[in-house]
Structure formats: C-alpha cells, structure tokens
Structure 1
Amino acid sequence: MPEVTMENGDGDVPEIVVERTLALIKPDAVHRAEEIEEIVLESGFTILQKRRIHLTPEQTSDFYAEHYGKMFFPSLVAYMSSGPIIAMVLARENAIGYWRELAGPTNSFKARETHPDSLRALYGTDDQRNAVHGSDGVTSAEREIRFMFPDSIVEPIPAGMVARDYLARAVNPTLLKGLTELCKQKPEDPCMWLADWLLSNNPNKPQVADRYAVQEPM
C-alpha cells in the first residue's frame, strides 16, 4: 500500500505521510465499541470503512495464517471467532504507527503498567483478550484491509499538490456555485439545502436526455 507524502512549499521535505491501517475491535470489547471509536476519532484518525462481522473459525485461521503452528494459535482462533468483531479502515498521517501506539502493548497487564492510557490498558483483559488489533506494517495492512473489505480499492490518498489540483479542478467550481446560491436563497436549514443542491448539480451525475424518440420497426 503506497504511502502518500505532503511536501512543503519548496517541494523538497516531506511533511506528513498519509497511511491506511486496519483496526479490529475484538469480541471482548465490542460492547465498548462506541467509546473506542470516539477515542479513535479524537486521536486524529478518519474511519474510512467500518463493518461488524462474525468470523468463522476457518476465516479466522486464514486471517491469522502467519501464526499457524504456534502454541496459542488454536485458542486465538477460538477466541476471535467466538463473537462479532468491528473492523475499521483508519487513515491519518503515519496511521500504522500511531494506531499501534494508541493500542498499547499486546499484553493488557503490561499495558496497564507502562501505557495506562492505551486502549488495551483501558479495555483489555489479558494477553489474548486485549480489546483491539492493528496491522504491524504496510504490507500486512494492505493484506488485512483486503481480507476484511474485499471490495476495497487500496490506493494512495491524494495529498499535497495532487489533492489541491484535484480540488481546484473538480470540486471548488461546483462548491462555489452552490455556496453562492445558498447565500441567495437563505434556507432555514442551510446544510440540508446545500447537500440537496450538490446532489442535484453533481457534474459527474449521469445525464439522461428528456426528449428521445423510439422508432418502431417497420
């Protein structure tokens, strides 16, 4: 999964790296999902995709295939397939590292000693029922996102000049028209009015001709 850098005005020094990572809320913490998601958002992440899923033992074995043969593998599979989980694709600068830092040490007991504000310290129970999972690198993030979201297209997130050029070309002209019309109309609910206007005036919306003729065969 390629990283996307935003450059400074000189175009030389990267300022931030925008990444995607997979985050799981495990069965033992699903009942606290809303609290965890609130912490995620407050920590600067954007939740790009989210789904609730109950994995079968076979699916869980495939997801954790790298741990196959290890002593804890059977209990890990049994635990992760014991109930629903929440899968999320998160994005922000250096998302993989920041998410793992927010999650804390794998063992919840250690997390409470060394990282008391981490998610595993707050919501985990032990070294296996530790509330959350996070991808450990770019390659695993790409694989895990595709596993949990098969239809997901893992592409670079536009940033820097690429994002600014796209906005200037494809977004700003239409948005400016909508905001101008909004000022003229002064609706009671400006947000809903603008949303409806943008839906109706989307330049990429397929257009169907009002007038057409159907020629019957002779």
Structure 2
Amino acid sequence: MRAVLHAPRRVLQLTLAIIKPDAVAHPLFLEGVSSTRGWWSSWPVFVLSVPEFSSQLCHFSTVHQLGLPLTNKSQRGLLHLDNSVGGPMRAYILAHEEAIPLWRSLMGPTRVFRAQHTDPESIRGSFGLTDTRNTVHGSDSAASASREIAFFFPDFNEEQWYQQEEPQLREREVGRDTKAIPHHVPRDGWAEAD
C-alpha cells in the first residue's frame, strides 16, 4: 500500500471584477468578455455578483481617478455621467489562489492600444474601445480588493468569509454551472442540479 501525500492548498485570494457599461450594453461584447480564455466557466469560484447599478460605478470611477478615499457616501459635485461609466454594469467577487494577478492577466493592459498590440487575446485587447471604455476593471492589490469589495458589496463580510466559507471552498470541489453565477460548494445531502 502506498501513501499519497497531498500538499495543502493555498488560501484563496479575493478580487473585485467589474464588467463596465460599455460591455454590458452590447450583448455580443458581454458574451465575448464572458468567454475570453474560458474564465467564466473555469474559475474555481464566483462568490457574488451584483447586476446593473451604475451610480456606484460613477462614484467609484470618479474617486478612483482622483485618488480620493473610497466611501459609500456620494460626494456631490464629483459625480459625472459620461459614456464611459453610464449604464448598467456587473460586479463580481472572484476567489482563486492567485485571483488578483490572474484576473489582471485576463484583463490585459489598461491602455487599449497597448493591449491590442501586446496582448490581443486579453479582454481589453479584444473588446476595449478607449482607455476609459476598456470593458473591465480589477483590483490591483489585496488592500484595493478589500476596499473595493466593501464599496460594492457593503453586506459582504470578508473576515467572516475567510473564517467560514473559504476553508470549505479550498478543500472541496466547487460546482460549476456556466449559466448560473455564483458557483457553489456542494453541501452534504445536496444534489447537483442537472
């Protein structure tokens, strides 16, 4: 009899992924973004998704560009509605052992022209229109991810997630359903949907 040793899996990292209004507004763009490099169906976990709210994206975009503190309260006079941030959007909390660098790699360079020439298979290289209408956003660090997740998902408790959900997700198979997001962790006695 041979013993099989399994290396412990690393703690999952969280990141915020935003599909911007310029992609959501065009169903073919949205479908293309979703299928780029198979990320939609191959990520181990999509924790949450919030469809369609644009006022938060406007506020987020403005304070992000100006380097201001990110808060849930609107700052009058700072919000500007333009084509780059107006309209429905989608926000997701993604979990993976390398969530931040992997998502950033899938997005490609921020500058669309650069993405089209250096990483044409990336989301921005394939679907980006301009530097502000570059279809997606992702956190650039764990600290940014925590701030941005708290902004878009104020009811999400990151500390509680790491204590209760993350160990289960790390140790168990995650049920993947390419049509239903978020994916889920099968529970004992819980049959997989056909």
TM-score calculated relative to the size of structure 1: 0.60
Do structure 1's residue 37 and structure 2's residue 34 form an aligned pair? yes
Distance 1:61 1:134 in 2: 16
Do structure 1's residue 67 and structure 2's residue 71 form an aligned pair? no
Please give the secondary structure, in 2, of the residue aligned with 1:117.
coil
Q: CA deviation at 1:23?
A: 0.5
Q: CA deviation at 1:133?
A: 0.3
Distance 2:120 2:13 in 1: 26
**Paired letter, 1:36:** V
Listed as ranges, the gaps of 5+ residues in structure 1 are: 1-8, 165-170, 180-189, 196-218
Q: CA deviation at 1:158?
A: 1.0
Please give the secondary structure, in 2, of the residue aligned with 1:88.
strand
Percent identity, aligned pairs only, is 36
Q: Do 1:48 and 1:91's aligned partners in 2 also have CA atoms closer than 8 Å? A: yes
**Paired letter, 1:61:** H
Q: Do 2:9 and 2:171's aligned partners in 1 also have CA atoms closer than 8 Å? A: no
Structure 1 stretches of 4+ with a deviation exceeding 4 A read 74-77
Structure number with larger C-alpha Rg = 1
Distance 1:63 1:147 in 2: 12
Alignment of 1:1-218 (within 5 A): 16-30=10-24, 31=26, 32-38=29-35, 39-56=38-55, 60-62=58-60, 64-68=62-66, 78-155=82-159, 156=162, 157-158=166-167, 163=171, 175=188, 178=189
**CA spacing shift, 1:101–1:36, aligned 2, 3 Å:** same
The size of the alignment, in residue pairs, is 160
- Of Structure 1 and Structure 2, which has the larger fraction of its residues in helix? 1
Q: Do 1:123 and 1:130's aligned partners in 2 also have CA atoms closer than 8 Å? A: yes
Q: CA deviation at 1:49?
A: 0.8
Q: CA deviation at 1:48?
A: 1.1
Q: Which has the higher contact order (CA 8 A, sep 6+)?
A: 2
Please give the secondary structure, in 1, of the residue aligned with 2:12.
strand
- Of Structure 1 and Structure 2, which has the larger fraction of its residues in strand? 1
